[in-house]
Structure 1
Amino acid sequence: MNIDKANAALDSVYTADTPKALAEAYAAWAATYDSETASLGYLLPFLIAAWVARHVPSGEGPLLDAGCGTGLSGPSLKALGYRDIAGLDLSEDMLKIAGSRQAYSELKQATLGGPLPWPDGYFRAFFSTGVFTISHAPASGLYELVRITKKGGHAIFTVRDQVFESGGFRDVFAELEHNEKWRPIEESPWFRCYAIAEPEALVKTFVFEVV
């Protein structure tokens, strides 16, 4: 069953203890990722379009899909009028699938938490779903994402409940606000990231304006 295979794949990415191990886990999952996450009722790549549309007028860009995976978000945003979308991911195999969707203007391989290959203030906004989660991108990855987002632009991303406190997100949020790098705009309630499986898996969407 897809749902059993998806749960096994989730276990493999949640237990990866290095970026290399995580990239290998996603390489193994890439070919069946879309169908298996669909069997879980994975909502986030599609739902994030609602927050992007609320804060970024259609047609404005460029936007960055940070941790784009197979590019599930790109076609939804393209359908809403966003034409200039870049994607980054640590997995070359996932990026190949994202490229096949014809929704991204550029795709680059990079690891969140390390340096990113764009200049200061390059993007109108970045968005990210399912990336700030168990054994994935660290909270410190937000510093570089904010750096490459222009003043007046937006940071739109989800954080998994299990890492919000333990992963230092609250501290990074406070530091960026204290240093006048961003200000909070919107915060969702905790909600399920899977409509069908994993009812205890909760995330929250955060929106900040870069200043």
Structure 2
Amino acid sequence: MSDPRSAPPARASDALGQVYAASGADELNAAYAGWAAGYDRDTLASGYCLPFQALAWVSRHVAPDAGPVLDAGCGTGLSGPYLQALGYGWIEGLDFSQAMLDIAAGRGAYRELKRATLGETLPWPDGHFAAFLCTGVFTEGHAPASGLVELARITRPGGIGVFTIRDTIFDSAGFAGVIDELSARGVWRKVETSPPFRAFALDEPDVLVTAHVFRMRG
């Protein structure tokens, strides 16, 4: 009998496997465009909890009347209605997949949705947001660590950033370095960091993330 520990982890769906296997932005965009219609059903069946779990940190550190909140990498907008239910009335979103944004728009929770790519210049002025939320985006083959620089830029002094990072890329993809650099430059200060936890409650036991909360200095 083969050792199950040596077997590759089972993926929740072929679509998820294509996302993990994407070798560039074009392939990743195509994978999400093809998956958009079934994304919610597939990920929720696997126990995907990040769009909801991260709201605990948002509600802990961001007052509902603080100002606009950015759902960065919002995908199909799973977080939007639950942010709205918690009293956040001004929610904006970004994603690089227009197919996913089209579904997010139908949820009626976002004041504005923009197609944009983390790691590139974002289409908002300095200090526009009271807070940003970014979950499930800083993972293998997705947004680079440099995306944090722009997210910090468009968050106002005293504002909050809540984001998750896949444990396997925290050091290798430069996230530790970017976080430390922003701290050393006085851009933000750490509020809290979670221990690693599962992004999927049912499937994908190998997918662990940490949640990070930072406050912008002003």
* Same fold per superposition (TM over 0.5): yes
Structure 1's 24 and 91: CA in aligned 2 closer, same or farther, altered over 3 A? same
Distance of 1:59 and 1:24 partners within structure 2: 37
5+ residue gaps, structure 2:
1-9
Q: Which residue of 2 aligns with 1:142?
A: 148
Q: Which residue of 2 aligns with 1:20?
A: 26
* AA of the residue aligned to 1:90: F
| TM-score (normalised: structure 2) | 0.93
Displacement after TM superposition at 1:68 (Å): 0.1
**Aligned equivalent of 1:197, options 200, 203, 213:** 203
2:13 counterpart SS class? helix
* AA of the residue aligned to 2:137: V
State the 4+ residue runs in structure 1 displaced beyond 2 angstroms. Answer: 4-7
Q: Which residue of 2 aligns with 1:113?
A: 119
Q: Which residue of 1 aligns with 2:95?
A: 89
**Aligned equivalent of 1:73, options 76, 79, 101:** 79
5+ residue gaps, structure 1:
none
Distance of 1:6 and 1:29 partners within structure 2: 13
* AA of the residue aligned to 2:165: V
Q: Which residue of 1 aligns with 2:60?
A: 54
- 1:41 is the counterpart of 2:79: no
Higher helix share: 1
Displacement after TM superposition at 1:30 (Å): 0.2
| TM-score (normalised: structure 1) | 0.96
Distance of 2:193 and 2:132 partners within structure 1: 16
- 1:165 is the counterpart of 2:163: no
Residue identity over aligned pairs, in percent, reads 57
Distance of 1:166 and 1:197 partners within structure 2: 25
Distance of 1:87 and 1:6 partners within structure 2: 26
Displacement after TM superposition at 1:86 (Å): 0.4
- 1:29 is the counterpart of 2:30: no
Displacement after TM superposition at 1:145 (Å): 0.5
Displacement after TM superposition at 1:5 (Å): 7.9
Distance of 2:67 and 2:91 partners within structure 1: 7
Displacement after TM superposition at 1:198 (Å): 0.9
- 1:155 is the counterpart of 2:199: no
Q: How many residues align?
A: 208
* AA of the residue aligned to 2:187: K
* AA of the residue aligned to 1:137: A
Larger radius of gyration: 2
Tell whether the 8 Å contact from 2:166 to 2:207 is kept in structure 1 after alignment: yes
Distance of 2:204 and 2:155 partners within structure 1: 33
- 1:63 is the counterpart of 2:69: yes
1:208 counterpart SS class? strand
Tell whether the 8 Å contact from 1:19 to 1:111 is kept in structure 2 after alignment: no
Q: Deviations over 1:49-96 (max 9, x none)?
A: 111000001222200000000000000110000010000000000000
